[in-house]
Structure 1
Amino acid sequence: MHIKGEMKLTEPVVRSFRVAKVFKENTDRINNIDFSPTGDTLISSSEDDQIVIYDCEKGTQKRTVNSKKYGVDLVHFTHAKNTAIHASTKVDDTIRYLSLHDNKYIRYFPGHTKKVVALSMSPVDDMFLSGSLDKTLRLWDLRSPNCQGLMHLTSRPVAAFDPEGLIFAAGVNSESVKLYDLRSFDKGPFASFRLNTEKNCEWTGLKFSPDGKTILLSTNSSIIRLVDAFHGNPTHTLTGHLNDKKIPLEASFSPDSQFVFSGSTDGRVHVWHAESGHKICVFNADHNGPVQCIQFNPKYMMLASGCNNMAFWLPSEENS
């Protein structure tokens, strides 16, 4: 597998993406994927209690870490080398900080009383955010087991840091987005955008575009909302991908914020132009189940998508 670095992402290049490699290590659904900031490794968590680490440059699986006791969900790299945080699927709803090097836990972050459904690592430091079905958002510092901040909401939260790590956004009740300043979040949101209440679906994920200008709201239906991050105006509703199982489907931006990628329940991958909202293409992937995880590598010209299998995508040679 040969991946390229500095290549400009254009529509023809996006259309040329093909599956370069498929990994079939998992026996159950991949529930989260995350690229390292340098783009050279990818980590995944799955319902079969495995954490798998991939070498993106070589296109190989580096190693597998089992988490049989606590299960694993929402795995994310931290900024320290060879470490990750993840939510639990068994025993309790504690967040765990793991040394991948020797498979030992560095620290536990207890507090949530129901399933953790959102986890976001600060892009700049050791802070991270968690949101749970217990209707709370918690702010943490990797260096301390004590919660640094607690917010009670009226519904299941979705939340994420902005690319600068100065503010975070929380989506509440599938109808409003609240922006908090990290230095004074206890004073409440400094901005609140109310959108039309979702009728037949709920928000299941929130992300900022890498340029910080757009907020993406993914849902458990076949719609994705794009919202202006500064004024809160809805800019586009992206549709056309199948979600007949009412499950959370991840959607992600390309690193230049130009394109949005989403999986679907029929195993295909859909791509839209973020600025115009137009669909560019649909890929027939080698996925035998719903594609719930999809992300673009932050540094290399490569896409990763996951059902039970993990697929690595590259632009085809005629476009390189």
Structure 2
Amino acid sequence: MICCLNPNCAQPINPDAAGNCQCCNTPIITDLRGRYRPIKLIGRGGFGRTYLAQDRDRLNSYCVLKQFAPQAQGTKSLDKAIQLFQQEAERLHDLGEHPQIPTLMAYFEQDQYLYLVQQMIDGKTLLQEMRRRGTLDEAGVRSLLEDLLPVLQFVHERNIIHRDITPSNIIRRQVDNKLVLIDFGVAKQFSETILHEPGTRIGTEGYAPIEQLRGGQAYPSSDLYSLGATCLHLLTGVKPERLYSPLEGRWMWREALQQNNLKVSPQLGNVLDRLVKDLISDRYASAQDVLTDLRGLPSLEGAVPGWVRQHPEGKISTSSPPSAPPSRPGGTSSRPPSQPPSISPAYSGGTPASQSVGKRPLAPRGWRCVRTLSGHSSWVTTIAFNPKTPILASGSLDDTIRLWNLQTGAMLENLAGHARGVNEVVISPGGQVLASCGDDDTIKVWNLATGELLQTIKGHIRDVNAVAIGANGWLLASGSDDRTIKLWKLDRGTLIKSLTGSAGMIKSVVITPDERFLVSGGLDNKVRLWNLQQGVMVRAFSGHFNSVSQVAIAPNGKLIASASKDKTVRLWSMASGGLIHTLSDHTQEVNAVAIAPDSVTVVSGSRDGTVKIWDAQTGNLKHSLSAHTGAVTAVAIHRSGQYIASASADKTVKIWQNI
């Protein structure tokens, strides 16, 4: 594939042989400056677009290509934008080569656009990590500081101030788990710390100290302030501007931690407090001073830094629930496994007469954990029951999909094909095909009988978070961080159409039983209903105060459930779009929701570690299940309605039975 370099092109991805863009008809540039081949759009902003490219002079190795095409209006704004773009190239050049700073490879002009080429850093920003895996604990904060402070010391020793340290400008490199400081677009030399015009703001609000926001002045202690504010955000999950009380003139981050029953040691608290002092004279003067105090703190016995996990291959990657206790060797939970359950005939695809579907909600007898499935080496993010056989599929941030025999608890297959974490798995109604998606921007289709990878579907330009298969077994839908929903032919992997218009990244998609509509949810806080035949959105359900993590549709097609980071599940009428109930009992973000075959029972899973069972007719909470030692990331209901599976950040899957 190759990318169109028109900064206004809506669909820049083109086949290799394209002479002109299929979307905007702009001539395709195959080799920028004779060596850089743009192959994927990976970002866009006020200055222009960022592409993944291949460097032909370096054996087609990957690099990042930043195109300067500012949206700024007026001569003064344009001049400032040009200055900041050139400044990033100059600062990267001044810094030379440091293993935790992107290397500048080229800076040039072509076809009236400026381009900056730099080393590609493969990984996630700390903001992306927090949104996916939760907040850092004390060990994680200390690890972050110890990793990044030497980088700042290196930068400051060369008389450069970054001036925009935030969770979005720090990437954890996948290959070695090291933190990399990016985006030197507003960096300045010490000698250039002059007063700007009144009202000029340099840096990001909440992270930038007062001297930057008022007058554009910055010092090494200004970067340390921003680093401290970054730590407070990652520790509490609350943006810095909401952690500071201007009326009291103090930071309220300890209160935010207490609300989630979390705390840090007084010694680390003192370091964080000093980093974010209002007065420059009260802050640390240098990164080395912070390191000295940090290394004098008492050691954390038995602690594992937040987000750190081990890959099956032994390389370090990122994850680990912030509040989960250490696991035993091999990744198994410290909780002893339950006794094997007595699996009913329902697990072989049948439904006993006493459990007939669609006539009554699950009997309010009692739920207990009857099996724990252990084996993944990182968070289990997704699960799905096979509707025809006693098999459950699970996907994980360890990049694998595992198939489990529910009667014995044995692992049957380990499907390895994704290059990055698996976000969702779904099994076709016939039970023969599994579709999966992941952070490697792909969808993969597997033969469940043989474990064979049938095809890899490409087309999204960012992480694919969700997949769904229609009731007839031929329609596949996917949702991505690129803010598009795509419809595919499952048997061939060919694109049918793209649904565009969402204001935020797509986190969940589900197809209605009649395959006429699709429901999606994502980072714009809305649930959207799409007409699949026309390819247009027909309704937006508004009510959540934070992003929508997952959506579900009742088998009878009348009810929509949505789980949100606002700690609620909301039930909506498919016909009218009206809100039926708001289910509020979880104490933290709700990550998952499912509706049982009876179309009455709703199951939800939350970062608070619980699985809750609700009555959709009354909105009442029926049961609350606690066994996981980390956040619950996914839930699934067996077709019999008598079994629930829950996946967790504690690296396990638990099977619950209604006894």
Larger helix percent: 2
**1:298 Cα shift?**
0.9
AA matched with 1:29: W
Partner of residue 292 from structure 1, selected from 596, 616, 633: 633
Give me the whole-angstrom Cα distance separating, in 1, the residues matched to 2:624 and 2:431. 36
1:99 maps to 2:439: no
Partner of residue 113 from structure 1, selected from 451, 461, 467: 461
The answer to whether the 8 A contact 2:384-2:636 is kept is: yes
The answer to whether the 8 A contact 1:128-1:139 is kept is: yes
- Where relative contact order (Cα < 8 A, 6+ residues apart) is larger, the structure is 1
Paired position in structure 2 for 1:145: 493
Paired position in structure 1 for 2:579: 234
AA matched with 2:539: S
1:302 maps to 2:651: no
Paired position in structure 2 for 1:84: 434
Give me the whole-angstrom Cα distance separating, in 2, the residues matched to 1:228 and 1:39. 32
Kindly, what percent of the aligned residue pairs are identical?
Answer: 21
The answer to whether the 8 A contact 1:32-1:73 is kept is: yes
The answer to whether the 8 A contact 1:79-1:126 is kept is: no
User: Structure 1 pair 127/74, CA: closer, same or farther in 2 (3 Å)?
Assistant: same
Partner of residue 613 from structure 2, selected from 255, 271, 288: 271
1:21 maps to 2:362: no
The answer to whether the 8 A contact 1:109-1:147 is kept is: no
* Matched residue SS, 2:591: coil
AA matched with 1:112: H
* Matched residue SS, 1:288: coil
Paired position in structure 1 for 2:384: 34
Give me the whole-angstrom Cα distance separating, in 2, the residues matched to 1:170 and 1:240. 24
Between 5-14 and 141-150, the greater mean CA deviation after superposition: 5-14
CA RMSD of aligned residues (A): 2.3
1:67 maps to 2:416: yes
User: Structure 1 pair 296/14, CA: closer, same or farther in 2 (3 Å)?
Assistant: farther
Give me the whole-angstrom Cα distance separating, in 2, the residues matched to 1:238 and 1:219. 11
Give me the whole-angstrom Cα distance separating, in 2, the residues matched to 1:23 and 1:146. 35
The answer to whether the 8 A contact 1:50-1:64 is kept is: no
Paired position in structure 2 for 1:280: 622
**1:59 Cα shift?**
4.2
The answer to whether the 8 A contact 1:52-1:61 is kept is: no
Paired position in structure 1 for 2:474: 126
The answer to whether the 8 A contact 2:527-2:562 is kept is: no
Partner of residue 534 from structure 2, selected from 181, 185, 205: 185
Give me the whole-angstrom Cα distance separating, in 2, the residues matched to 1:266 and 1:177. 27
Aligned residues: 303
AA matched with 2:444: R
| TM-score, scaled to structure 2 | 0.44
Structure 2 residue ranges without an equivalent (≥5): 1-340, 345-350
Between structure 1 and structure 2, the one with the greater Rg is 2
The answer to whether the 8 A contact 1:74-1:118 is kept is: yes
Give me the whole-angstrom Cα distance separating, in 2, the residues matched to 1:256 and 1:13. 11
AA matched with 1:310: V
The answer to whether the 8 A contact 1:3-1:301 is kept is: no
| TM-score, scaled to structure 1 | 0.86
AA matched with 2:645: A
User: Structure 1 pair 262/76, CA: closer, same or farther in 2 (3 Å)?
Assistant: same
Paired position in structure 2 for 1:155: 504
The answer to whether the 8 A contact 1:38-1:299 is kept is: no
Post-superposition Cα deviations, 1:165-224, rounded to whole Å, max 9, x if no partner, equal 2322234632352231x3x233x24x314423x33x111211101111101111123111
Between 80-89 and 257-266, the greater mean CA deviation after superposition: 80-89
Partner of residue 405 from structure 2, selected from 45, 55, 60: 55
**1:101 Cα shift?**
4.2
AA matched with 1:239: S
Give me the whole-angstrom Cα distance separating, in 2, the residues matched to 1:22 and 1:78. 25
The answer to whether the 8 A contact 1:212-1:229 is kept is: yes
**1:19 Cα shift?**
0.6
Post-superposition Cα deviations, 1:227-283, rounded to whole Å, max 9, x if no partner, equal 00111000011111132xx5x611111210121111222322211111111111212
Give me the whole-angstrom Cα distance separating, in 2, the residues matched to 1:47 and 1:211. 33
User: Structure 1 pair 177/66, CA: closer, same or farther in 2 (3 Å)?
Assistant: closer
Give me the whole-angstrom Cα distance separating, in 2, the residues matched to 1:88 and 1:279. 33
The answer to whether the 8 A contact 1:53-1:63 is kept is: yes
Give me the whole-angstrom Cα distance separating, in 1, the residues matched to 2:389 and 2:560. 22
**1:162 Cα shift?**
0.9
AA matched with 1:128: L
1:313 maps to 2:656: yes
Give me the whole-angstrom Cα distance separating, in 1, the residues matched to 2:451 and 2:527. 39
AA matched with 2:549: T
The answer to whether the 8 A contact 2:418-2:438 is kept is: no
